Amino acid sequence: MNFIITTPLYYVNDKPHLGSVYTTIICDSIARYKRLRGEKVIFITGVDEHGLKIQRTAINNGVSPKEHCDEISDIFKKNWLEWNISFNKFIRTTSQEHEKVVHEFYEKVKSSNDIYMGEQKGWYCVGCEEFKDNPDNSPSYKCPIHKKNLEWKNETNLFFRLSKYQETIEELIQDPEFIEPKERRNEIINFVSKGLKDFSISRTNLDWGIRVPDHLNHTFYVWFDALLGYVSAISSVDKSSSLDISIKSGWPANLHIIGKDILRFHAIYWPAMLISAGMKPPQKILGHGFLTREGQKMGKSLGNVLDPEILLKKYGEESVRWYLLKDISLGSDGDFQNRRFVDIINNDLANTIGNLLNRTTSMSRKWFNNQTPSISEKNNNEIITLSNKSINNYLTYFDMYKIDKASNEILNFAINVNLYLNKKEPWSLIKDDNNINEVKLIIYNVLEATRIIGTLIKPILPEFSIKILFQLGENDIGNTDWLERLQWGLLPESRDLPKPIPIISKLDYE
């Protein structure tokens, strides 16, 4: 069985911002965790390239939409590789494979009698690519998300019969597992209870899109097209890519991770479209919160957009990963604060975990011939109990996608091991030869605890994990035996330890 996880397909109106990096990092850590748990993962990301927003951006930049999309899509792909994102599929909605799947899907929805021609009148936000309520019915009313004026549209479009799926969707969203977190689910339940309206799935005055086969003056509405990218991605490297291959390869998706602003599309429109085509809805939609910077919404007009490339160059991907995954609870809004960022990296990674490893391997090398100690008794001590408890909690939290809590389990374990070391004071005990066995046990326990920490942290900080384990004389561990590697006592006795080097440098305030 495949585990299919997706990021949203990002608009190519601009290069990745911190919000897109945030979503992608969350998916990456879940994909890595699932692989470590033995699942065959298909991790899908990609770009959403059609629509009015992209067409206008290209025109403003003086290039053709195709040229513009090629350039920005490449930047996205390159960026994800720089961020060490372990995606398996990168889908472009302008690809031929995708277009084929959109056509096949359209035929299925049509044969369910869910497509008809109608009049679309309303206020449109090009930023959201969505019709919006305009309570004042005034041209100066602005989209609450993009703070831009809405545009009046009046067209003859193809419609999708969403209203037919009122009860089906009501039933689906009753399942507490389907939309998380709870607050997001409640928003959707509330919206659906007001009655679902059919929505238009084509445009007549827009060239930059996939042509509707039986209405060639129409292009598909960008959201109808883009959501299908999740399906076409699955068979996208297959030369004969098709809806059927995607279904056979494991559709439905197990998890769509998205921001709260695009929840309706994923939790209502998308499942209804799929059910209409005779396909299964996704299993879970997880809506994360928004990132702000120093307490303020990030926006180009505010001039406070945090460029992820600068963060990456300055601090490296793993520091940013730790901050975003450990400090922000998935589902809540999060704030990026420079001082806090520096404090967290220095305290958690450099002082608590890095130092623990560094000073203990140094002591072990100094007292035990550059090796791990040999001991007579490995079992029954407070650190084993603590380790097993932390591992259990960590696994439970990760299974619920509470990555912040899982990360804090690792950190708290490391804090407690530091306390143990300080309480036991092996550096004082070693002065008396009679204490040698006790010192050996203490050092072994701490080294073994750091091995567990290095193993647990792997899906969150893959490179940091390798560095920790290397300092303990371990090679990179594969995906297969990760869970077994969490058993206490696997660190070999009398193993050569490499010369300690700091695994992370401390950061300075700006």
Residues of this chain that interact with ligand MSP (CB under 6 A) are 8-11, 19-20, 22-23, 48, 226-227, 229, 258-259, 261-262, 290-291, 298
Structure tokens at 74: 């490449």
CB nearer ligand MSP, residue 45 or residue 241: 45
Classify residue 76 as exposed, middle or buried by CB count within 10 Å of its CB (0-12, 13-18, 19+). buried
CB nearer ligand MSP, residue 10 or residue 43: 10
Residue 19 CB: number of other CB atoms within 10 A?
19
Half-sphere exposure of 230 (CA within 13 A, CB side): 26
CB nearer ligand MSP, residue 227 or residue 449: 227
Rounded CA-CA distance 271/111 in Å is 17
Question: Judging by DSSP bridges, how do beta strands 40-48 and 89-92 pair with one another?
Answer: parallel
Q: How many residues does the chain have?
A: 510
Least distance to ligand MSP from the beta carbon of 480, Å? 33
CB nearer ligand MSP, residue 45 or residue 352: 45
Least distance to ligand MSP from the beta carbon of 128, Å? 8
CB nearer ligand MSP, residue 290 or residue 315: 290
Least distance to ligand MSP from the beta carbon of 51, Å? 8
Secondary structure class of 149 (helix, strand, coil)? strand
Least distance to ligand MSP from the beta carbon of 500, Å? 38
CB nearer ligand MSP, residue 48 or residue 409: 48
Secondary structure class of 450 (helix, strand, coil)? helix
Rounded to the nearest 5°, which phi and psi values hold at 406? -60, -40
- The residue with tokens 């495949």 is 2
Task: For residue 101, give the amino acid letter.
Answer: V
CB nearer ligand MSP, residue 292 or residue 435: 292
Least distance to ligand MSP from the beta carbon of 394, Å? 25
CB nearer ligand MSP, residue 45 or residue 372: 45
Number of helices and strands in the chain (H, E): 20, 16
Least distance to ligand MSP from the beta carbon of 410, Å? 24
CB nearer ligand MSP, residue 259 or residue 500: 259
Least distance to ligand MSP from the beta carbon of 290, Å? 4
Sign of CA dihedral 319, 321, 324, 329: negative
Structure tokens at 27: 């998916």
CB nearer ligand MSP, residue 7 or residue 319: 7
Least distance to ligand MSP from the beta carbon of 222, Å? 8
Structure tokens at 14: 């601009």
Least distance to ligand MSP from the beta carbon of 231, Å? 10
Sign of CA dihedral 160, 161, 166, 167: negative
Classify residue 63 as exposed, middle or buried by CB count within 10 Å of its CB (0-12, 13-18, 19+). middle
Residues 188, 268: contact at Cβ < 8 Å? yes
Least distance to ligand MSP from the beta carbon of 264, Å? 11
- The residue with tokens 């550096």 is 427
The packing angle between helices 355-367 and 403-424, to 10°, is 40
Residue nearest to ligand MSP (CB): 259
